[in-house]
Amino acid sequence: MESIKERYRTRPDHPWAKLPEYAVFRHQDNGKWYALFMNVQRKKLGLSGDGSIDVVNVKSRPEIVGSLRMKDGFLRLTT
């Protein structure tokens, strides 16, 4: 999160009282979010093992989503 603070000069917002460790980063000009940091149980993501992992949900331009999904560390969830 520190690199986002430095690079984009935005501070995290913590909008959920029940989940104070979750952080939302928003554009300064319009208040729309571009990144959500959260800690999710591995089982909820269909991953093996116990415990939880840190997850970053990032909004992205549609034309680069496909190439990001092919990289290690990116998880594609289907509904």
Whole-angstrom distance, CA of residue 16 vs CA of residue 22: 7
pLDDT tens-digit readout, 31-52: 899 899 999 999 998 889 999 9
Question: Domain 2-69 falls in which CATH fold?
Answer: Aspartate Aminotransferase, domain 1 (3.90.1150)
3-state SS of 38-49 is EEEEHHHHCCCC
Phi-psi region of 73 (alpha: psi -120 to 50; beta: other; left: phi over 0): left
In this prediction, residue 79 has a pLDDT band, given cuts at 50, 70 and 90, of very low
Q: Which of 22-31, 34-43, 51-60, 68-77 has the lowest mean pLDDT?
A: 68-77
State what percent of residues in the chain have pLDDT above 90.
41
- Contact assessment for residue 45 and residue 77, using Cβ atoms and an 8 Å cutoff: yes
pTM assigned to the model: 0.71
- Checking if the pLDDT of 18 tops 90, the result is yes
Q: How far apart are the first and last CA of the chain?
A: 28
